[in-house]
Amino acid sequence: MPDVSTSAPAADTGSMQNIDPDAKEILDAMSAYMASVKSFTLHADTTRDDVLAFGYKLQTNDAVDLRVRRPDRLRADVSGDNQNSSYYYDGKTLTILGRDLGYWTEIPAPATIGELIDSAQERGIEMPLLDVLASGARNELLEGVRTAVYVGESKIGGVACDHLAFRQPTIDWQLWVSQGDKPLPRKILITTRYKVGDPQYSALLTWNTSSRIDDGDFRFKAPANATKIPFRPAKAAGTAP
């Protein structure tokens, strides 16, 4: 691995982009492959720093399981310290179940997963990891990036990966992409520089691009003890995943 002093993102240089061609080539290959995968399951173990008074940081952990079948089927189940929720999308409706609270709500949804993610962001609905994965598949990850570098080779969960690092005006982020004919993101690390303590978010990703996914996986059936409530839009989502 190259010396960090020479490979880490450079200081902010205004609006000028400094993009390492090797980093761009890996991102382009990753985006093309992600866009070509029509169905997959994905497990993610995520950690998030919460900054308390006087700069104390606490780390919380969640597990995310995604089932995706393009163009119009998606399910996400989240369990952990921050939430225990499920999201069902069938091409017409997005249903959100708060498993701990015993409430569920549904809203009309657009016809494709890409449109759903854009709509969710506008409505302030945080759907774990989906904005990052959608941006990767649409080859949008370099938008707003001022510096991108190829750091070197690394292993994540025993998988050989290329390690990339990026700087934007208010965040730094790193990406580990598996080598070979299936260049998928295996780890994401985001550092929010504008907040006290530079809190971080990370996700370790395990993919299965050959699993069988049934229609029933995307069909919502309300639990007997759950109550339907009207959807109330939250404040529009920020830059966190």
CATH label of the domain that carries residue 154: 2.50.20.10
Percent of the chain whose pLDDT exceeds 90: 75
Q: Does some domain include residue 68?
A: yes
Pairwise CA distance, residues 32 & 175, whole Å? 16
Q: Does some domain include residue 9?
A: no
Q: Residue 37: what residue type?
A: V
Coil vs helix vs strand at 216: helix
Contact 85, 97 (CB under 8 A): yes
> So what's the pLDDT on residue 24?
97
Q: What is the pLDDT of residues 37-96, one digit of tens each?
A: 999 999 999 999 999 988 889 999 999 999 999 999 999 999 999 889 999 999 999 999
> So what's the pLDDT on residue 167?
97
Torsion of CA 21, 27, 32, 35, to 10 degrees: -160
Contact 9, 165 (CB under 8 A): yes
pLDDT: which is higher, 240 or 208: 208
Q: What is the pLDDT of residues 106-156, one digit of tens each?
A: 999 999 999 999 999 888 898 888 888 888 999 999 999 999 999 999 999
Taking 80 as the threshold, does the pLDDT of residue 17 lie above it? yes
> So what's the pLDDT on residue 181?
96
Residue length, the chain?
A: 241
Number of domains the chain is built from: 1
Residues 6+ apart with CB under 8 A from 140: none
Longest dimension (CA), the chain: 58
Q: Does some domain include residue 111?
A: yes
Region 180-206: mean pLDDT is 95
> So what's the pLDDT on residue 235?
55
Pairwise CA distance, residues 52 & 45, whole Å? 23
Q: Does some domain include residue 241?
A: no
Pairwise CA distance, residues 51 & 117, whole Å? 28
Q: Peptide bond preceding 110: is omega within 30 degrees of 0, i.e. cis?
A: no
Q: Does some domain include residue 23?
A: yes
Q: Does some domain include residue 191?
A: yes
> So what's the pLDDT on residue 15?
61
Structure tokens at 197: 């303590």
Residue-number span of the structural domain to which 134 is assigned: 16-228
Structure tokens at 32: 């093309």
Catalogue the E-assigned strands of 52-182. 57-69, 73-80, 85-89, 93-98, 103-108, 147-156, 159-167, 171-178
> So what's the pLDDT on residue 239?
39
Coil vs helix vs strand at 103: strand
Q: Does some domain include residue 208?
A: yes
Q: Does some domain include residue 196?
A: yes
Q: Which of 222, 235, 43, 46 is nearest to 125 (CA)?
A: 235
Structure tokens at 136: 């990767």
Angle at 157 (CA atoms; ends 153, 159), nearest 5 degrees:
45
